[in-house]
Copies of this chain bind each other. A is one copy, B any other.
Amino acid sequence: MIRNLTEQDKEHLQEALVKSGQKVTPQREAVFTVLLAERDHPTVDEVFHRAREVMPGLSLATVYNCLETFVGCGLVRQVNHERESTRYCPNLAPHAHFRDKATGRVHDIELPPEVLKSLRSILPPGFDSEVIEISFHGRAQAGEQHSN
């Protein structure tokens, strides 16, 4: 269930960390592995429990630290929905999030470049946006499986 990182993934991790002057550690590998294994936008706590199965001594503080580090070096995105616990997403392609009212699950929604562009175009001159967050909230029919 928590299969190991591919060589590709390891390189991706290492490059991003080293590029921002930080080290690859067993804890960071474990946390990153968890994020890639199941792309269901886990909360910190969920990451913590999953990672512990493979590294029992891991602390919650370290999970917070690792995730912050990953966000900082662009390996992972933070996903916020209203006041709920922060979730984490390793999908680096531009996408929106859909939270299912019924299940609480969060799905990735592909964001085509032209839609992104039309969104940017609504900003009046003088407004320069680095981050755009788009989140939907509603119902997804069962059967509409994870476009996770």
Which size bracket describes the interface of A in this complex?
35 or more
- Expressed in whole angstroms, the minimum distance between the Cβ of A93 and any Cβ of chain B is 13
Chain B neighbourhood of A129, CB < 8 A: 98, 136-138
Whether the Cβ atoms of B111 and A122 lie closer than 8 Å is yes
Against B, the Cβ 8 Å flags (1 = close, 0 = not) of A107-140 are 1011110110011011111111111111111111
- Give, as a whole number of angstroms, the nearest-CB distance from A69 to chain B: 17
B122 A115 Cβ-Cβ under 8 A = yes
Identify A123's interface contact among B98, B101, B122, CB under 8 A: B98
Q: Which residues of B contact A132 (CB under 8 A)?
A: 134-137
* A137 vs chain B, min Cβ distance (A): 4
Kindly list chain B residues whose C-beta atoms are within 8 Å of the C-beta of A144: 124-127
